[in-house]
Structure 1
Amino acid sequence: MLAWNTVLNHSDPTEFVFPVFTAVRELQPLLFLLFLILYLMILCGNTAIVWVVSTHSSLHTPMYLFLCNLSFLEICYTSAVVPLMLSNILGAQKPISLAGCGAQMFFFVTLGSTDCFLLAAMAYDRYVALCHPLRYALLMTRRLCIRMAVAALGLALFLSLQLTALIFTLPFCGRRREINHFLCDVPPVLRLACADIHVHQAVLYAVGILVLTVPFLLICVSYVLITFAILRIRSAEGHHQAFSTCSSHLTVVLLQYGCCSLVYLRPRSSTLEDEDRQIALVYTFVTPLLNLIYTLANKDVKGALKKAIFVKAASDTD
């Protein structure tokens, strides 16, 4: 097993820098303000979801527990990326050390992989709820939900540790190299290596298949079975209610897995660095915002949030 201290004890003094986000100086303050507002929305909204789900016993069901875990991941995920990105948007170009770049990659890959595994677990939850409603409470127990969440994090940690340590055993040319991205993602860092990376590329594909392809296929199977179950419902109202419970999750799944597959599973010869940056913006900002909007639009979450705000306001008045 490759050890994480391989990264920290690397003797290469290389520093990495990120390019200016845009060469148009007039756009820099506008982009900074836009991404700062989006980041604060993601932080505040997901913090509210974590708080309301954890404090209201009526929301202690598998679906909302998974949503709570997903919201917590989104907070950590964006916080590992956006602050450094914001500092570079204004043209600061602050360098990041080799160990710092490795740490950001490790947390980024870990949190992103856990996110993908949790989306698959949520698809299974929706399958049980719609295909076996009478056995739902028996099948989707609290213990099973905790085990699925822990397994998702544990597998993500293991894969991320191996991948990050393997990449940072590579030599990098020069003392100061520019990563054509806004974060220390795997593909752009690999491009800076001064060695043969075919083995590393193969490992990246293998990890991508485990993190993206396998969970996505399980989600597809779940939704095929869910579709058959919905078609057996005779009432139009039942169709609408069943589809509405899955539409938000399915939208986030398509965005998350689609964008990540374009970055990590494309052949290296067809990869365009500028496209990777644009795609990364989608799963850094758009996917967390969509998940946030859909969750806050849920009537149970909305009701619990309004009740909590009302109680807080009433206590402050007294």
Structure 2
Amino acid sequence: MVSVNLVVLLTIKGSQLSEQPMYYFLSYLSFMDICFTSTVAPKLIIDLFLQCNTISYNGCIAQMFYAHFFGATEIFILVAMAYDRYVAICRLLYYMIIMSRQVCYMLVIASAIGAFIHSLVHVFIIIRLPFCGTNEIDHYFCDIFPLLKLACTDTRLLVIVVITTTGVLSILTFLALVISYIIILSILRTRSSEGRRKTLSICGSHITVVFMFFLPLIFTYVPVGDSVGDEKLIAAFYTMMTNKLNLSIYTLRK
């Protein structure tokens, strides 16, 4: 999967496609896919091969930070890609002015800054907690809900904070993306059949990726009661499977 992402990334960077905002964002989405998966998959594969299921405290905190950082950056880049499609369809005459290279740079930088702040909040939540008793995490990687379960204190308020910062962020972002594409689809009714077909091909890829990425996130980070952190299968889907399929969806479209 890493090799596929690298091929797509190098292809875009080595061609004139990188001059187009959509492919510019796609190259960064590819890079985030590589980084996001690399925070979880290599450690998991090594542990399965060596039958060694241990990780240091610092390594656990680092894994949680980078998983949330790269994951959140992907979310914000998907939002930037949706905005790009909205401008391309709804403000076509002003497209090159609105989506200038400087604007694209700023959107990517803003995505990274927002993701960094988001991840830092999670780290501050965990490092301030006392841990005692069992140190066995009921998960295949260090995520915040499994770590909260190990704390020797009442973490109900912190669970609400996490749901607010991650779960609600995922829901609001998902709703914003869905609304933006509803607007785009309503505008497409006035276009020619050829124009509708081409636009739906581009937007359909993005909509598919959005649903595949956000729905597992929402089910994971908007849990109910004691179900927090129990959906390891869902977590596996958005940490590894979705990233593997993202570029296939984009590159195989017509």
Q: TM-score, normalised to structure 2's length?
A: 0.94
* Counterpart selection for 2:95 from 127, 136, 142: 136
Deviation at 1:110, TM superposition (A): 0.7
C-alpha distance in 2, partners of 1:183/1:60? 37
- Asked if 1:92 corresponds to 2:51, the answer is yes
Q: C-alpha offsets along residues 243-264 of structure 1, whole Å, 9 cap, x if unaligned?
A: 1111111111111110001011
Counterpart in 1 of 2:135?
A: 177
Residues 202 and 253, structure 2, Cα contact 8 Å, conserved in 1: no
C-alpha distance in 2, partners of 1:126/1:234? 17
Aligned length: 254
Alignment-mate amino acid for residue 31 of structure 2 = F
Secondary structure at the residue paired with 2:110?
helix
Query: Structure 1: which 4+ aligned runs deviate by more than 2 Å?
Result: 88-91, 268-272, 294-299
Secondary structure at the residue paired with 1:191?
helix
* Counterpart selection for 1:204 from 162, 165, 169: 162
Deviates more, 1:244-253 or 1:281-290: 281-290
Q: C-alpha offsets along residues 211-257 of structure 1, whole Å, 9 cap, x if unaligned?
A: 3123222212211110111111242x332211111111111111111
Q: C-alpha offsets along residues 103-149 of structure 1, whole Å, 9 cap, x if unaligned?
A: 00000011111111111111111111111222211111111111011
- Asked if 1:74 corresponds to 2:43, the answer is no
Q: Which structure's relative contact order is higher, taking Cα pairs within 8 Å and 6+ residues apart?
A: 1
Counterpart in 2 of 1:277?
A: 232
C-alpha distance in 2, partners of 1:298/1:55? 21
Counterpart in 2 of 1:124?
A: 83
Counterpart in 2 of 1:294?
A: 249
Q: C-alpha offsets along residues 59-103 of structure 1, whole Å, 9 cap, x if unaligned?
A: 321100100000000111111111111122246124111111000
Secondary structure at the residue paired with 2:135?
strand
Deviation at 1:272, TM superposition (A): 6.6
Any unmatched runs of 5+ in structure 2? none
* 1:228-307 superposed matches below 5 A: 228-235=186-193, 237-271=194-228, 273=230, 276-297=231-252
Alignment-mate amino acid for residue 277 of structure 1 = K
Higher alpha-carbon Rg:
1
Alignment-mate amino acid for residue 209 of structure 2 = V
C-alpha distance in 2, partners of 1:58/1:253? 22
Residues 145 and 229, structure 2, Cα contact 8 Å, conserved in 1: no
C-alpha distance in 1, partners of 2:14/2:115? 28
C-alpha distance in 1, partners of 2:192/2:248? 30
C-alpha distance in 2, partners of 1:58/1:177? 49
Alignment-mate amino acid for residue 242 of structure 2 = T
Counterpart in 1 of 2:174?
A: 216
C-alpha distance in 2, partners of 1:117/1:67? 12
CA RMSD of aligned residues (A): 1.7
Q: C-alpha offsets along residues 5-60 of structure 1, whole Å, 9 cap, x if unaligned?
A: xxxxxxxxxxxxxxxxxxxxxxxxxxxxxxxxxxxxx2101111211111212432
Deviation at 1:209, TM superposition (A): 4.4
C-alpha distance in 1, partners of 2:156/2:229? 18
Secondary structure at the residue paired with 1:177?
coil
C-alpha distance in 2, partners of 1:159/1:81? 19
Alignment-mate amino acid for residue 164 of structure 1 = V
C-alpha distance in 2, partners of 1:195/1:246? 47
Alignment-mate amino acid for residue 131 of structure 1 = C
